[in-house]
Structure 1
Amino acid sequence: MKIFKNNNGFTLIEMMIVLLVISVLLIITIPNITKHNSKINSKGCEAFVKMVQAQVQAYEIEKKEPPADIQALVKEGYLTEGETSCPNGDLVRISAEGEVTSAKKETKSE
């Protein structure tokens, strides 16, 4: 009489090797992602400034003058309330000539 063994499962050693490989891949990739996070935020801020500049131009075409500040764009519906600063927290400013720039958020130290 023959007894057949069912060998379809994984052994503990095989599972530990797979977990080790996954852990090594995570250890390699996570620092690379965090390194590039500041670059991603600065590129997002550049894109946001260009978008606000386009809204300033649309405002100028309609109103025949540049907006006084970013709140004027929000008030007139060109931007929403949450769109007044860059994704990385930098403030967006509009000059008297209608030029849009971003500046680091000033922190208060007490």
Structure 2
Amino acid sequence: MSKHFASIDKKGCDSYVLMLNGQIEAYRINEGKYPTGFQELFDKDYITEEAPKCPDNTEISFGDHIAFVSEKQESKPKSQTDQ
């Protein structure tokens, strides 16, 4: 069941990042330039958080005119024999 929730969190995060990238493009169209970061989007009311995070609290980065999530290392749970 936890695999299912992880999949939902990943899809939710992916969707949130896509929405942020849409706001970055909207800013570019309206302002004639790309924002320098999330703070600029927040200051001009394109987003509601100064430092957006995914629903699972994964940090989202900004660079090269896009929002993205760095691939995080997934650790495997230890089995009782590994402990």
Q: Same-fold call, TM > 0.5?
A: yes
Q: Which runs of 5+ in 2 are unaligned?
A: 73-83
Which amino acid letter does the alignment assign opposite residue 102 of structure 1? V
Corresponding residue for residue 14 of structure 1: none
Say yes or no: does 1:102 pair with 2:69: yes
> Of 23, 27, 33, which aligns to 1:55?
23
Instruction: Flag the structure with higher helix content.
Output: 1
> Of 90, 93, 97, which aligns to 2:58?
90
**Post-superposition shift, 1:100?**
1.8
Which amino acid letter does the alignment assign opposite residue 68 of structure 2? T
Q: Which runs of 5+ in 1 are unaligned?
A: 1-31, 106-110
Secondary structure in 1 matching 2:60: strand
* Larger Rg over CA atoms: 1
Equivalenced residue count is 72
Give the % identical residues.
Answer: 29
Which structure has more relative contact order (CA 8 Å, sep 6+)? It is 2
1:94–1:82 distance in 2 versus 1, CA, 3 Å? closer
Structure 1 vs Structure 2 CA RMSD: 2.0
Deviations 1:68-93 (A, max 9, x none): 11121111101102771111112222
Using the size of structure 1 for normalisation, the TM-score is 0.58
Which amino acid letter does the alignment assign opposite residue 99 of structure 1? I
